[in-house]
Amino acid sequence: MAMTSDTPKRTYFLPGLLSLVGLVVLPLIVYYLFFWVEPRYKGVAFIPEFDELFRIPPPTPRSMLIFFSWLLLHAVLQVIGPGRWREGTPLADGTRLRYKMNGMFAFVVSLGLFVGAVQLGWVSPTLLYDEFGPLITTVTQFASAFSLFLYFFGKWKYPAEERTGNFFYDYFLGTSLNPRIGSFDFKFFMESRPGLIGWIAINFSLACKQSTMEHGLTTPMYLVFAFQFLYVADYFWHEEAILTTWDIKHEKFGWMLVWGDLVWVPFTYTLQAYYLVHHGHELPWWGTVGIVTLNMAGYLIFRGANWQKHCFRLDPQRPIWGKPAEYIATRHGSLLLVSGWWGIARHLNYLGDLMMALAWCLPCLFESPLPYFYFIYFLILLIHRERRDHNMCHQKYGEDWERYCDRVPWRILPYVY
Ligand code: NDP
């Protein structure tokens, strides 16, 4: 059913209710994982009781100062930092938005400032470890308030955009695709800058904490830090590839993305490093070699596939692995690549991402399931995402998509799925 601003509210009662449940349950999952990893349980599984709710840390002046200075710093870097301008994919009306690519600049400068402040003794190296809990609350509250702003802003500035009319559903998923003030694009900014770079800043603090407790860093901590640093640095190195991703092209900007970018990513993707603070084990050399190989193979597939699609969409004449690109020309006008990585499986980029996700968990060994939370969550997310993408492409390309599926039958993992 098409969504319009006139659609009766009752039509979306169930999605609205599910959104409301998500608004309550998702933050509780983050607190649960935090309680699970922090010193009281140190990764030992426990069944949460009602009383745990009273242990949710309130914001502190320090956590508020940290978050708002970080957010402001990134907003300023986005606006004044030097960067190339790139055009996004065509919107429904045929126009294209322009985006300033200066993420690598923001990454280097903000982390440089943080590490510099630690070196100069202005900031405690373990600050983000110490404020981890209060920061979750501070950022969650900000994300909720900011999403409310986006809800009204979207309705006011983009009245023609489709929405359901159910408050909770629209608040959860957003009321506009590309909310902007001038050329400052809220979604593009929040997708990466404060949260993704914050993830690495938190990892740094967690590594410092381990270093003070264990009188040095363990190999697993080095691995987790290095792998995740590479992942984020790579993101900024290829920042413009985000312009052709699902989030930018199709997802409206509401609580789900705001909270996901600002809370979920930095406070759950750091679980492995947090777990290692209190688990100072070492790895056999062959384990280290195996994990590094897994991560780098995953990286090669992930980056290779994403970049190949991005370059192909910009210039279909560009050779793929030394040969002319093979593709299906759709009636819709777009070209579907069927050679290179995209001829092996329809979402090999997801496979590469999952291999890296596993490589981030394995250094924690097998005493607790907690560090594997990321891999399991990500596996579910990407399987669901692939199905959603498949349905959408099928709707968009019809028979051409079916031809593509016949030619490339595997979804994510060749010969398995
Ligand atoms: P993709 O980058 O795979 O984009 C899918 C889109 O690409 C489709 O909707 C279609 O769009 C186009 N497309 C599909 N097949 C082809 C083809 N054969 N040739 C050309 N274009 C094609 O998906 P995502 O945006 O979901 O993911 C991007 C990356 O981000 C992935 O590597 C993923 O693993 C990662 N990711 C990471 C997350 C994290 O939390 N770490 C979360 C989510 C994703 P069109 O309409 O243009 O044809």
DSSP 218-268: -HHHHHHHHHHHHHHHHHHHTGGGGGGSHHHHH---SHHHHHIIIIIHHHH
Q: According to the model, what pLDDT value does residue 19 have? A: 95
Helix (H) or strand (E) holding 28: helix 13-37
Q: According to the model, what pLDDT value does residue 294 have? A: 97
Mutate to test the pocket of ligand 1, among 91, 227, 349 (most ligand atoms within 8 A of CB): 349
As given in the structure block, the two tokens for residue 48 are 């949460």
Q: Could you give the CA distance from residue 271 to residue 203 in angstroms, rounded to a whole number? A: 9
| Cα-to-centroid distance, 236 and ligand 1 (Å) | 17
| Cα-to-centroid distance, 386 and ligand 1 (Å) | 8
Mutate to test the pocket of ligand 1, among 199, 245, 378, 384 (most ligand atoms within 8 A of CB): 245
Residues having CB closer than 6 A to ligand 1 are 245-246, 302, 306, 309, 334, 336-337, 342, 347, 349-350, 353, 385, 389, 393
Q: Ligand 1: which atom is nearest the Cα of residue 342?
A: 18
The residue among 190, 310, 314 whose CA lies nearest residue 252 is: 190
Answer whether 349's CB lies under 8 Å from 329's CB. no
Buried b (16+ CB within 10 A) or exposed e, 212-242: eeeeeebbbbebbbebbbbbbbbbbebbebb
> pTM surpassing 0.85?
yes
Q: Which residues is 86 bridged to in the sheet?
A: 99
Q: According to the model, what pLDDT value does residue 10 have? A: 61
What number of CA atoms fall less than 13 Å from residue 222's CA on the CB side? 10
pLDDT in tens, 143-190: 999 999 999 999 999 998 888 889 999 999 999 999 999 999 999 999
Q: Which parts of the chain sit beneath pLDDT 70?
A: 1-10
- Measured between alpha carbons, how far apart are the two ends of the chain, in Å? 30
Q: According to the model, what pLDDT value does residue 1 have? A: 40
Answer whether 154's CB lies under 8 Å from 161's CB. yes
